């Protein structure tokens, strides 16, 4: 809920933009759960809003961290559409391999460094709180990349992330709107977890029938 923390357009407009971005993010998560072809569109629209009003607030310089989410959205949408065309209109789902778990961990560290730090020598200055914030800011990027590849395990990470965020905003005494958004995120990620695990079982059923246990 702090994407517009530096926006200078006034409190009312800030709240409106935050609500719009939050709603677009929830909409994309729900569409991801259904493997809908337009799933990346609301998220991309939210990114465009963020960049547009960032420029309007007099901050034309974008850091590398600001460009990560647009890049992930663009790449994810391309993967999503190409995967759907290749597999008859529905993106197939699968489990992550051991190698992909390692790649995901490496990307998480890389994205956290890009978003949060200019160098490891600053770690002693910024402290562990900002380190945790950088990791949590980078985690959705890894989740979105997992979804782009149809990896069902990304939803388990998403549920954990959403629960942690809900606990954080609740403990911090955040406004009711922030708590509502965090709770809606948990529900959307749980929906995705259930639907993609169901899709995995449906996909595995023909193989189980073709190669029954003990055959």
C-alpha–C-alpha distance, residues 175 and 177, integer Å: 5
In a domain, 39, yes or no: no
Residues of the chain with pLDDT under 50: 1-10, 119-121, 208-211, 213-215
* pLDDT confidence of residue 12: 64
Q: How many domains does the chain have?
A: 1
- 113 in any annotated domain: yes
* Alpha carbons within 13 A on the beta-carbon side of 200: 16
pTM of the full structure:
0.83
The two tokens of residue 9 are 């357009």
What's residue 206's pLDDT? 60
List phi, psi (to 5°) of 174.
-65, 160
Note whether residue 212 is domain-resident: no
pLDDT tens figures, 170-207: 988 888 888 999 999 999 999 999 999 999 998 876 65
Token pair of 87 as six digits? 């597999």
Residue span of the structural domain in which 110 resides = 64-205
Is residue 28 one of the residues assigned to a domain?
A: no
């Amino acid at each position: 809920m702090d994407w517009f923390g530096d926006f200078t357009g006034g409190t009312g407009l800030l709240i409106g933009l935050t609500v719009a971005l939050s709603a677009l993010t929830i909409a994309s998560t729900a569409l991801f759960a259904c493997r809908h072809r337009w799933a990346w569109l609301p998220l991309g629209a939210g990114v465009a809003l963020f960049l547009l009003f960032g420029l309007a607030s007099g901050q034309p310089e974008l850091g590398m961290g600001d460009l990560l989410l647009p890049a992930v959205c663009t790449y994810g949408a391309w993967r999503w559409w190409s995967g759907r065309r290749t597999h008859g209109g529905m993106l197939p789902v699968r489990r992550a391999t051991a190698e992909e778990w390692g790649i995901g961990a490496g990307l998480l560290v890389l994205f956290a460094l890009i978003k949060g730090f200019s160098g490891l020598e600053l770690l002693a200055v910024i402290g562990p709180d900002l380190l945790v914030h950088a990791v949590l800011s980078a985690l959705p990027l890894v989740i979105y990349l997992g979804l782009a590849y149809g990896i069902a395990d990304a939803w388990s990470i998403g549920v954990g992330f959403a629960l942690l965020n809900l606990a954080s905003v609740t403990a911090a005494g955040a406004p009711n709107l922030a708590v509502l958004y965090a709770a809606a995120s948990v529900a959307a990620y749980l929906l995705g977890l259930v639907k993609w695990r169901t899709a995995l079982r449906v996909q595995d059923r023909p193989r189980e029938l073709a190669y029954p246990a003990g055959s």
